[in-house]
Amino acid sequence: MQPKAAYTLLQPDELARRAGFAYRRLRECRLCGHWCAVDRLFGETGVCRAGKSAMISGYGPHFGEEEPLVGRFGSGTIFFSYCNLRCVFCQNFDISAEGDGYHVSIPHLARLMLSLQNKRCHNINLVSPSHFVPQILCALYLASRQGLNLPIVYNTGGYDSLETLRALDGIVDIYMPDVKFLRAETAKRLAGAAGYPDAVKQALVEMQRQVGDLVLDDRGIAVRGLIVRHLVLPGNLADTEAVLEFLASKVSPNCFVNIMDQYQPAYRAAEYPPLDRRPSRSEIGEAMEIGRRYGLRVYS
């Protein structure tokens, strides 16, 4: 028997309470590290430019994610529009910066989750969900009452507030943050978020507290735990050793880390050398070696 998704173990009224609490927070939005405090229910928007309703750019079974998420039938991915970061090298800038996509109601979002389950996907993979957590929780409540039971993957850039993450405790099964850099000046210059390093450190510790190390079922499919992504940038702009040392010493020495080697210049990267080039083989190799030296479960 496969483990049950965390949210299926909650009483329905508890999931409804969490959803209602989160939705009311849209009146003074502090869902992420920016703490914009805008009234999104009244039409105001903050850094992410998201409003009252959720926006998505697409959904469907996805086979390009980490192997423990993909399995045989794919990861049931929902791509949310906009982002709470302004990365100058974003490869999906049409979605994150330009807002490509369309508005979906909460019942529609619930139906999308159920349709992914009907396609036999192994999980519901929420990509860039931070700014739409209230709408997601409302949709999850509706979908769970109609039989949704897949694990929830929270696939985030890492700039989440602790209040938001605590509202997800006992709901999210798998956290997958993309840890970008740990220097405030780098985060401000390249992502418009000087507070990112402190926020992502706190987020990582909280995520680990909630779900622990990655657990696979007898098919090799992830059912619970933390997966960390770290994109190697040229010129060590990603502070790779600092990231990996923090994971090993403050999060878990058994942390599952995908050291990603697919960076290529995109969006405004050419304006910010050395982002105008790919990382070298030696830079990628050094990042992998650092991860192994710290004893982490690294792969690329």
Q: What is the pLDDT of residues 111-150, one digit of tens each?
A: 999 999 999 999 999 999 999 999 999 999 999 999 999 9
Rg (CA), the chain: 18
In a domain, 140, yes or no: yes
Supply the CATH number for residue 161's domain.
3.20.20.70
pLDDT higher than 70, residue 2? no
Q: How confident is the model at residue 237, as a pLDDT?
A: 97
Three-state DSSP class for 94? helix
Look up residue 14 and give its two tokens.
């508890």
Interhelix angle 133-145/12-24, nearest 10 degrees: 160
In a domain, 184, yes or no: yes
Q: How confident is the model at residue 68, as a pLDDT?
A: 96
In a domain, 219, yes or no: yes
Domain that holds residue 229: 6-299
Q: 31, 32, 144, 128: which is closest to 77 by C-alpha?
A: 128
Q: Residue 259: pLDDT band by 50, 70, 90 thresholds?
A: very high
Least confident of 1-5, 72-76, 124-128, 232-236: 1-5
Q: Residue 106: pLDDT band by 50, 70, 90 thresholds?
A: very high
Separation CA 80–CA 164 (nearest Å) = 17
Cis-peptide, bond into residue 134, ω within 30° of zero: no
In a domain, 36, yes or no: yes
User: How many domains are contained in the chain?
Assistant: 1
Q: Give the residue-averaged pLDDT of 193-201.
A: 97
In a domain, 227, yes or no: yes
Q: 148, 127, 151: which is closest to 65 by C-alpha?
A: 127
In a domain, 252, yes or no: yes
In a domain, 293, yes or no: yes
Q: What is the pLDDT of residues 159-189, one digit of tens each?
A: 999 999 999 999 999 999 999 999 999 999 9
Whether pTM > 0.95 for this model: the answer is yes
Instruction: Say which amino acid occupies 270.
Output: A
Q: What is the pLDDT of residues 272-297, one digit of tens each?
A: 999 999 999 999 999 999 999 999 99
In a domain, 1, yes or no: no
Q: What is the pLDDT of residues 10-48, one digit of tens each?
A: 988 999 999 999 999 999 999 999 999 999 999 999 999
